[in-house]
Amino acid sequence: MSQKSKIAFMGLGIMGSGMAGRLLDGGFPLTVYNRSRERSAPLEAKGARVAGTPREAGANAEIIISMVADDAASRALWLGPDGALAGAKPGTLIIESSTVSVGWIRELGELAIKNKLEMLDAPVTGSRGAAGAGQLVFLVGGESAALQRATPALSAMGRDTMHLGALGSGALMKLINNFVCGVQLVSLAEAVAMIQRSDLDFPKALAVLTDGAPGSPLVKMIGARMAARDYTPNFLLHLMAKDLRYAIAEAGKYSLDLTTAKSALGRANEAIAAGFGDRDLSSVVELFRK
């Protein structure tokens, strides 16, 4: 049996904590870094080494994985004198699993080449439960040889890996995926409000949507949360707004005006202004429950 790669995992939020936990359960030697050190404690108790900086985290790793909120958070991990790139040894494989812009992925890829590193972009589909259960799907961009090297680690964290093409392909597909999710989210919120303001039997009417043609896995999940008014975070509303912004900007490069995404973003921004940004994305329905 081949020895498992030494992995550094940076970013222990809703998704990252579950992903890192899967790597530990899979027997990978793991170093973790998170800006708020207290989030590292549960993993440290299970055997992970805790690093004080991204540079320290990546210094002895063969694979470095990042899972944070946006371009700015990703840049803060990778760049600068204490960044992971400064500590990574030539030949290290870096994997950006955050939902970030295609432009930033390509910029990071150029820096990886300069530093003699390999790189994949590998954002995921799935929420908190899927991360903890190892049921994520990785959307991967990059070279096949790098993906082959990453596969044991990705398999510990997910149920499937889709290789979509060159570096940046994973990021692009993730933005397309999430803009469609954002549009579904807001349209369902408006539909729920329309049902509740009418004389329709709410459980029956919601079942028509969730069990019928519109009933995607997302619609089923958020429909139940909207009905229960359970907004415990699985996916934060402000992150969905960020993904919509990134998708709109990326579509502009293809001369596309994502009007449905812009409408969904407007509603998401209203809900964020009303105090729901750090709640689950299903909380957007509260805009219409006045």
Domain boundary among the residues 146, 167, 188 is at 167
Report field, pTM of the whole predicted structure over 0.95: yes
Do residues 128 and 258 both lie within one domain? no
Pairing between β-strand 7-10 and β-strand 30-33 as defined by DSSP bridges: parallel
Structural domain of residue 36, as residue ranges? 7-167
The catalytically annotated residue of 4, 116, 174, 290 is: 174
Phi and psi angles of residue 186, each rounded to the nearest 5 degrees, phi first: -70, -40
Do residues 181 and 82 both lie within one domain? no
Do residues 214 and 70 both lie within one domain? no
Give the pLDDT score at 289.
86
CA 2 – CA 115 distance, rounded (Å)? 27
Do residues 242 and 268 both lie within one domain? yes
CATH of residue 228's domain is 1.10.1040.10
Do residues 12 and 155 both lie within one domain? yes
pLDDT truncated to tens, each residue of the chain (290 aa)?
358 999 999 999 999 999 999 999 999 999 999 999 999 999 999 999 999 999 999 999 999 999 999 999 999 999 999 999 999 999 999 999 999 999 999 999 999 999 999 999 999 999 999 999 999 999 999 999 999 999 999 999 999 999 999 999 999 999 999 999 999 999 999 999 999 999 999 999 999 999 999 999 999 999 999 999 999 999 999 999 999 999 999 999 999 999 999 999 999 999 999 999 999 999 999 999 86
262 is annotated as an active-site residue: no
Do residues 139 and 178 both lie within one domain? no
CA 204 – CA 74 distance, rounded (Å)? 44
Do residues 49 and 26 both lie within one domain? yes
Domain boundary among the residues 167, 186, 203 is at 167
Identify whether 49 is part of a domain: yes
Domain count within the chain? 2
Identify whether 220 is part of a domain: yes
Do residues 257 and 148 both lie within one domain? no
Assess contact for 225 and 233: CB atoms under 8 A. no
Do residues 281 and 201 both lie within one domain? yes
Do residues 116 and 257 both lie within one domain? no
Identify whether 37 is part of a domain: yes
Identify whether 2 is part of a domain: no
Q: Which residue bears the tokens 């429909």?
A: 223
Do residues 79 and 151 both lie within one domain? yes
Instruction: Give 11: exposed, middle or buried? Use CB within 10 Å, 0-12, 13-18, 19+.
Output: buried
Identify whether 1 is part of a domain: no
Do residues 131 and 176 both lie within one domain? no
Identify whether 247 is part of a domain: yes
CATH of residue 34's domain is 3.40.50.720
Identify whether 117 is part of a domain: yes
Domain boundary among the residues 135, 167, 199 is at 167
Identify whether 158 is part of a domain: yes
Pairing between β-strand 136-142 and β-strand 124-125 as defined by DSSP bridges: antiparallel
